[in-house]
Structure 1
Amino acid sequence: MTLRIVEHAEATDRGRYREINEDALVVAPPYFAVADGMGGAQAGEVASRVAAEVVREHRRDLPPESLLADIAREANRRIYELAARDERHRGMGTTLTAALVAGDEVAIGHVGDSRAYRFRDGRLEQLTRDHSLVAELQRSGQITPEAAEQHPQRSVITRALGPEPEVEVDTYTVPARDGDVFLLCSDGLTTMLSDGEIEAVLKSSRDLKEAAENLVRAANQSGGRDNITVVLFKLAEEESQRGAGVDTAQDAGSTDDRQADHEHTIVGGLKAAELAARAPREASGRVGSVTLSEQEPGPAVAQRRARRARGRSSGRARPLRRVVATATALLLLAGLFVGGRAAVRSVYFVGTDQSGLIAVYRGLPYELPFGIELYEQEYVSGIPALALPAERRAAVLDHRLRDRSDAIGLVRAIEQGRIEGLDRQ
């Protein structure tokens, strides 16, 4: 059976808190990709753009998995060498999740915490494994999935293109069939929406364009803490063009005929061909391939609010674990408010902010149910955590409680390049 791409759509947005969009995407059927850049002074935007460029130009005669691995390694080499030549780009990096449609299979190359999903028969399945600190803790059984969602270091990734001269690339080949929809996205989507909420949006959308727009809108309505990028493509049998949309039957037309119009790279919301001609990006104003207006909550957000309302009004018994967790949280809250508030505010720890930059926090490195944070940001450096060697990075981000002078002094030492012996601090 030969499958063909009958529809694809994409959307990218800077989110509610970021001044620029450091994500990049590629739509060049049969190639699709998402790259999420990181690093200060717009270096992340540079890294993601380089990765996207390599995806577009790489066309060696190799098996699909080998080809995608080769693309990732070439992008890693270029980003690493660029950072070595320019001090402004030191420590920059990017994720890369790329897909290549080949016959009745889809090959995937993956580095970082962007994701690939397959939506089949109304169910969403994650295909990639996150290369992040929290994901590794969860896979090893050290934390629960619920704790992973609230972990203050969930933005720390353990593998990226650029920081090191060599990179390990995960590759997969997954079978595809008529009607499958594949989703590539940056973590700006998955940190704001659960898999169930993403699935609900895909089910309720009339076509892929609407699905992409609704996903980005829902992520913004749920907080929009990071850049959000979504790429969707749908497959159908060669002799069938049934169902161009997610759930409805529409004729998408010939992909081959439309490829010249749709093949493009978007970096930070702009097509790559436009970057050279455009003046430097203004810091204000939302950028993205889709401009989203403020509307009533989408289905994902409505579903979440309905669940919360049911949870408040329902008299049904809850699982014992949740009861115990809630009781424990209430007791802890009571203790904090009665006699521990001053103590909590007198301790500090070192972590990272939403951009992956090393930061100092005041309080305890925990979040309670209902989104109650026991910490607040005190200081953010300009140093990405990925700029540190792995063993020293682990020592710095161990969440050890410190006094203010110790925490600030540690970060100042990193900023000044005095990182020797960090594992002893």
Structure 2
Amino acid sequence: MTELTYHYVALTDTGLRRTDNEDSGFASKNLLVIADGMGGAAAGEVASSETMHVIRKLDRELEGDAIEALAGAVSRANDRLGELIEEDPAVEGMGTTLDALLWDGKKFAMAHIGDSRAYRLRDGKLTQISDDHTFVQSLVDEGRLTPEEARHHPHRSLILRALLGRDDNDPDISTVEAKLGDRYLLCSDGLSDMVDDNVIEATLGVETIDFAATELIRLALEGGGYDNVTVVIAEMVAAETPIDETLSSSNGQPQLVGAAAGQHRPRTGRSADPVARAKGDAAKDDVPAKPLDPEEVRYMSRPPSSRRWVRWAVGLLVLAAILGGAGKIAYDWSQKQYFVATDNGMVTIFRGVHAEIPGVKLENVDTVTNIDVSTLPEFRRKQVRSGIEASSRADAQDIVDNLGQFVTPAPAPAATPSPTPTPTAKTTRADIQTTSQRLVEDS
């Protein structure tokens, strides 16, 4: 089998309607990443650049499994956002999408969350290898919208999942098998919203990836340039392929573009002086609220409350419906919901709503699996203990099957040493002769 490597390029543009670039892109011989920040008031820049700062630490010789390394880095990036929000409530509500491909020498480990996209061009055919975590895509999946209708839907950019610094982040983690000649594209929605897939397909296949990146940016700007646009492209080549000095990656140096190339937010923390902090908060209250940036509205994250609050809210709605006479309808609806959590330390599929309402049981065990939560990596344990929502029973089973890939077998018990035989006196030839003589005499 031919040993593979890849050429790479990263390119970004602020766009025609934006004054700041909230996208971050990175490309190196080990790692490809794109992050599209959101939140307004520079918070989007902070989210994407801080996420990139954490994920970039994977740009080194890989130790261990690529999937676990990438999943762990995504979890740490999400935790970092949570730290920043705790230190500075002014950035509450910020978040970022993420697409990352980590190369292990044979295949890519892939992480995806949000509406940035990952594409593969193989044998001239373009395939989207990520699933949009958007409201309209959920309608397409349910058969309520066609892909063409979704493309022009007014809420097409409302995302359902992103890295927000909370425990309920749920990225897609998978493996991507690469072949000689494949080209991979990671892009922010500034490209995919402005340029049709068939045009991306034709452009991605041009002579060099550097030219393809330039052309894709140009096409996005010609299409309106309403948002920041960032592309990261890789082309799979044989490892022994001579270096093409005309390519931007020929020097082997990593390429970092966008917000992450211009800033890294230090850990400053809030003032320890409660009086000073109160004065600062009061001063903020005196500043008139400015109109929301349209981008903030498009990417408005869920209110910054814990997942438990959300469960209580859903549970209270069901309880209110029961008390109001619509009990059967509400209960029937709740029993069509599924999630994966833990029961007595085992990964378990539940039917119902993951909420705790005194006197009302909204969840029931559907299936207890044979997966012990303690055998999962820390990142996966946190997900299961927080509860992973599923769109159906089949989806819940898929979640369990995926978790099964990450089980760490328990170490085999140490073998019990065999008892050491008690040494005996060495039998001599004379002993044998004496015994033989005794037997003869006895007979």
TM-score when normalising by structure 2: 0.59
The one-letter code matched in structure 2 to 1:271 is A
Equivalent position to 2:258, from 267, 270, 280: 267
For 1:208, give the aligned amino acid. Answer: I
CA deviations over 1:221-256 (Å, ceiling 9, x no partner)? 011111100000111122345xx8xxxxx677897x
Per the alignment, residue 168 of structure 1 pairs with 170
Deviates more, 1:149-158 or 1:59-68: 59-68
Within-5 A mapping of 1:22-421: 22-58=22-58, 61-203=63-205, 205-241=206-242, 258-259=251-252, 262-268=253-259, 271-272=261-262, 354-357=294-297, 384-387=300-303
**Partner in structure 2 of residue 322 of structure 1:** none
Amino acid corresponding to residue 182 of structure 1 in structure 2: Y
Contact 2:12–2:258 (CA under 8 A) maintained in structure 1 = no
Q: Secondary structure at the match of 1:174?
A: strand
1:90-136 CA-partner distances (Å, limit 9, x unpaired): 10000110001223312211111111111111111111111111111
4+ residue runs over 2 A deviation = 1-6, 58-62, 163-166, 237-241, 250-255, 264-268, 383-392
- Could you give the per-residue CA deviations for residues 133-184 of structure 1, whole angstroms, max 9, x where no partner exists? 1111111112111210111111111111125234112112121111111111
Q: How many residues align?
A: 282
CA gap of 1:267–1:156, structure 2 versus 1, over 3 A, is same
Q: Which amino acid aligns with 1:266?
A: V
User: What CA distance in whole angstroms lies between the structure 2 residues aligned with 1:201 and 1:102?
Assistant: 28
Q: Which has the greater radius of gyration?
A: 2
Confirm or deny: 8 A CA contact 1:118 1:183 kept in the other structure.
yes
Instruction: Measure the CA separation in 1 of the matches of 2:29 and 2:116.
Output: 20
Q: Which has the higher contact order (CA 8 A, sep 6+)?
A: 1
Residue 254 to residue 228, structure 1, CA distance change in 2 (3 Å): closer
Q: Aligned with 1:355: secondary structure?
A: helix
Counterparts of 2:12 and 2:264, CA distance in 1: 16
C-alpha contact (below 8 Å) 2:120/2:183 kept by paired residues:
yes
Which amino acid in 2 is paired with 1:237?
A
Provide the C-alpha distance between the structure 2 equivalents of 1:30 and 1:4, rounded to a whole number of angstroms. Answer: 12
Change (3 A) 1:251 1:138: same
Distance 1:151 1:100, change over 3 A: same
Query: Separation in 1 of the partners of 2:103 and 2:27?
Result: 12
Contact 1:22/1:48, CA 8 A, preserved across alignment: yes
Secondary structure, aligned partner of 2:302: helix
In structure 1, stretches of 5+ residues that fail to align are 245-249, 277-351, 359-382, 396-425
Tell me if the contact between 2:102 and 2:109 (Cα under 8 Å) persists in the aligned partners.
yes
CA contact (8 A) 1:11 1:230 kept: yes
CA contact (8 A) 2:99 2:113 kept: yes
Distance 1:200 1:354 in 2: 31
- In the alignment, the residues of structure 1 paired with residue 6 and residue 64 of structure 2 have an alpha-carbon distance, to the nearest angstrom, of 25
CA RMSD of aligned residues (A): 2.8
Give distance in 2, aligned partners of 1:271 and 1:200: 30
Q: 1:70 corresponds to which letter in structure 2?
A: G
Task: Report the equivalent of 1:365.
Answer: none
Amino acid of the residue matched to residue 32 of structure 1?
L
Letter in 2 for 1:97: D
Could you tell which deviates more after superposition, 167-176 or 93-102? Answer: 167-176
Question: CA separation of 1:267/1:253 partners in 2, compared to 1, >3 Å: closer, same or farther?
Answer: closer
Deviation at 1:49, TM superposition (A): 0.4
Deviation (angstroms), 1:385: 3.6
Q: Does structure 2 conserve the Cα–Cα contact (< 8 Å) formed by 1:17 and 1:225?
A: yes
What's the secondary structure of 1:212's corresponding residue? helix
The change in CA–CA distance for 1:354 and 1:218 in structure 2 (over 3 A counts) is farther
Unaligned runs of 5+ in 2: 266-291, 315-443
SS of aligned partner of 1:151? coil
Displacement after TM superposition at 1:2 (Å): 4.8
TM-score scaled by structure 1? Answer: 0.61
User: Aligned equivalents of 2:83 and 2:97: distance in 1?
Assistant: 17
Task: Tell me: CA distance 1:356–1:103, structure 2 relative to 1, closer, same or farther (3 Å).
Answer: same
Q: Distance in 2 between matches of 1:132 and 1:47?
A: 19
How far 1:28 moved relative to its partner? Answer: 2.7
